[in-house]
Amino acid sequence: MLNLFLFRTIEIIIIGFKQKKFILSLLNLITMSKFGELLDEKKPLLLVFFSEFDELSTSLHPILKDVAAAVGDKGKVIKINTEKNIKLSEALRVKVIPTLMIYKFGEMVWRQSGDQDANTLISLMKDQLN
């Protein structure tokens, strides 16, 4: 079953901060192996599983921009739409929306579901910069 994931595609949105402007870029459909490469980066990675139809998920968007601005190029914030990425959501056992995870060197170092404030997320990400 996991071998099938290598050929599945996912759609993710990366929120980054570059040259004092927020960049919201859509990565065109990438494979699970490409997703694995993202996880293996040395930079901390905040994954946010959300739904466009969930009010709490959409209220996190401005908070995620603040986190991306605070972390800058030293980390990444990636939003993953659970409706478009069902297999990935299942593989990571996402049951509650929003679910947030921090990865570093391919290892999950933090996971929480529900509402989070910007200061907490910034602090958690900065802890992983060392």
Rounded Cα gap, residues 58 and 62, in angstroms: 9
Give the sheet arrangement for strand 107-113, strand by strand.
21-31, 9-18, 76-81, 45-50, 99-104, 107-113
* 18, amino acid identity: K
Q: What is the pLDDT of residue 20?
A: 33
pLDDT at 93 over 50: yes
Query: What's 41's domain CATH number?
Result: 3.40.30.10
Q: Which domain holds residue 119?
A: 2-127
For residue 65, the SS3 value is helix
Q: What is the pLDDT of residue 110?
A: 97
pLDDT at 49 over 50: yes
Q: What is the pLDDT of residue 32?
A: 62
Give 14's pLDDT tier (boundaries 50, 70, 90): very low
Rounded Cα gap, residues 120 and 85, in angstroms: 26
Q: How many structural domains compose the chain?
A: 1
pTM of the model: 0.76
Q: What is the pLDDT of residue 56?
A: 86
Rounded Cα gap, residues 98 and 29, in angstroms: 22
